[in-house]
Amino acid sequence: MARETASVTVTVELEAGNASLMTLGKMLGPTGVPPFEVKRKYDAATADRRGEIIPAVITIDARKRWTMRLKTPPTASLIRAALGRAGSPQPGHKAVGALSRDQLRRIAIRKLPDLNTTDVEAAMRIVAGTARSMGVRVEE
């Protein structure tokens, strides 16, 4: 009888260096992967970036072996950080502020590994679109 070869992929957004065991338990419980092991590896890999939200893609094979790949922080959180804000605006309220071209370029370069482009100018346009959808002006 052939073994099942399908794999499962779970993506979680966790606080760097301090992953929530409850969140990991909810996401990984059905897969049979011990959440404490994932938390320990995630916290060790992200300890130098505390305070950021770092998404992790966890791939689990049929034998319950797993691998983890870290991604860059969400674009919206990088924009809020560049503007000096924590959290998100209240529902119904738009964020206020403006991103300079330099801030936009720094965010785009940081996000480049996770975007579907290798061109910095195209990445800047993608980040600018996210900023506009948040109500943040982008200086020309």
Read off the DSSP letter of residue 115. Answer: S
Which pLDDT belongs to residue 95? Answer: 53
- Clarify whether residues 27 and 65 are in a common domain: yes
Which pLDDT belongs to residue 94? Answer: 55
User: What is the spatial distance between Cα 135 and Cα 113, in angstroms, rounded to a whole number?
Assistant: 25
- Clarify whether residues 94 and 133 are in a common domain: yes
Which pLDDT belongs to residue 1? Answer: 47
- Clarify whether residues 134 and 103 are in a common domain: yes
Q: Give me the tens of pLDDT residue by residue for the chain, a chain 140 residues long.
A: 455 567 899 999 999 999 999 999 999 988 889 999 999 999 999 999 998 999 999 999 988 899 999 999 999 999 999 998 654 554 555 556 889 999 999 999 999 999 999 999 999 999 999 999 999 999 87
Which pLDDT belongs to residue 7? Answer: 87
User: What CATH number does the domain containing 118 carry?
Assistant: 1.10.10.250
In this structure, the strands spanning 98-99 and 137-138 are: parallel
HSE (CB half, 13 Å, CA atoms) of 44? Answer: 7
Which pLDDT belongs to residue 51? Answer: 86
Which pLDDT belongs to residue 5? Answer: 62
Q: Domain boundary at 35, 70, 105, which?
A: 70
The residue segments making up the domain with residue 43 are: 8-70
Residues in the chain: 140
**Which whole-number Å values give the CA distances from 120 to 57, 64, 102, in the listed order?**
24, 38, 12
Residue 41 included in any domain: yes
Structure tokens at 68: 């983890």
- Clarify whether residues 79 and 132 are in a common domain: yes
CB-based contact 32:38 (threshold 8 Å): no
Output the CA torsion 108→113→116→118 (10° steps).
70
Considering the entire predicted model, what is its pTM? 0.78
- Closest of 112, 101, 108 to residue 127, by C-alpha: 108
- The number of domains in the chain is 2
